Amino acid sequence: MTKIIRTSLAVDFISFDVTLLQLGSTLSFDCYIKRFNGYVIIIEHGTVITEELLQKINKSGAIYFHKPELEQYKDYCTTYEIPEDVIVLSRPGSEPESVLTLDEIVANIDLLSLQLREFRNTQDKLRLIYKNACNLMSISFNHQDQELPIHTLELLIDETLRLIVGSRILLVDFIKMMPSTYKTECHSVNVFILSIFLGRQSDLQRTDLQQLALAAILHDIGKVGIDASILDKKGRLDDDEFEEIQEHSKISVEIASKNMIRSKRVLDAILYHHERLDGTGYPERLAGSDIPRFAQIIGICDTFDALTTDKTYRSRYSSFDALKLMNNEMTRQFNQAYVKSLIQLLHK
């Protein structure tokens, strides 16, 4: 697949089905695919259409060319006997939002490193990563077969680490783009990114950050096994419901293991992210240093995000008030060194 040459945001495009490309033909116009931030080149003019190329772009469904190159498209149709009427005029931003398939989301993330090069502003880069991540987790939570796109998750983690560790982006910049209303898939992404920031602040090495990030993004994946009426309940859970939802950390580990995640550090971080230093957490009521380091970090980020988003039974706390609560009233539950690191991150 050819590299992304540029992104176009305000030019008319014409779409046609990818299956119309003829094997062995040579294009006299650039072809684009639609991505979140506009249209990006996927095939340069002069490219010979090979079987391998067709397979790579087939998941895109539709590809586009610039309206000014309509004559070149017509010449292509004439040469290869393709009906010219299988085209649809399309303008960026004029199309309704569609629900992406898993294949489309995977294709987006496969191209993520190239798309990120189009941006100079680190906040724009993080915003693109965030949208990709939320889409990926949304469809992962809706897959009842519990098969996860692990390779794609790892690509996403690598790009996120490269941006956060390798740039001067601030946590406060990320906080500003977090949605105010709680959604399970966005919560997972919030905890994932918050954990990277906190792990970086705690001087974790790259390999450690990769494992922490994988555990963080999957920490709640077990909620796919919890009854939707409990997850969507408008109000506080009763004792039986709370007991059921506590099972999500064990289910998360089962799903991660099913998807060939074997790292004990990752699995333990997922399993124990609701344990608390005073022994009041679950599933095993671990206390103090018995709680793995990664689980402590994820637990703090999980709580911070939960406090700063609107719930059906309460309004969200401000970042300041959430950290004040965690620093003053939850001192026995959380490692205060990590809480203070989070406070420092938000004051940079």
The answer on pLDDT for 65 being more than 80 is yes
pLDDT for 107: 80
Within 8 A by CB and 6+ apart from 106, the residues are 59, 136, 149, 152
Residues in a beta bridge with 314: 311
Residue 2, domain member (yes or no): no
Are 76 and 109 in a shared domain? Answer: no
pLDDT for 99: 60
Helix H or strand E segment including 307? helix 293-307
Number of domains within the chain = 2
The answer on pLDDT for 7 being more than 70 is no
CA–CA gap between residue 216 and residue 26 (Å, rounded): 46
Are 68 and 107 in a shared domain? Answer: no
Q: How far is Cα of residue 23 from the mean position of the Cα atoms in its chain?
A: 35
The answer on pLDDT for 250 being more than 90 is yes
Range of the domain at 82: 7-90
Kindly report, residue by residue over 286-297, the tens digit of the pLDDT.
Answer: 999 999 999 999
Give Cα separations from 314 to 30, 45, 307 (angstroms): 52, 56, 9
Helix H or strand E segment including 14? strand 13-17
The answer on pLDDT for 2 being more than 50 is no
pLDDT for 36: 54
Q: pTM to 2 decimals?
A: 0.73
Are 213 and 120 in a shared domain? Answer: yes
Are 129 and 107 in a shared domain? Answer: yes
Single out the residue in 37, 63, 90 at which a domain terminates.
90
Is residue 298 within 8 Å of 216, Cβ to Cβ? yes
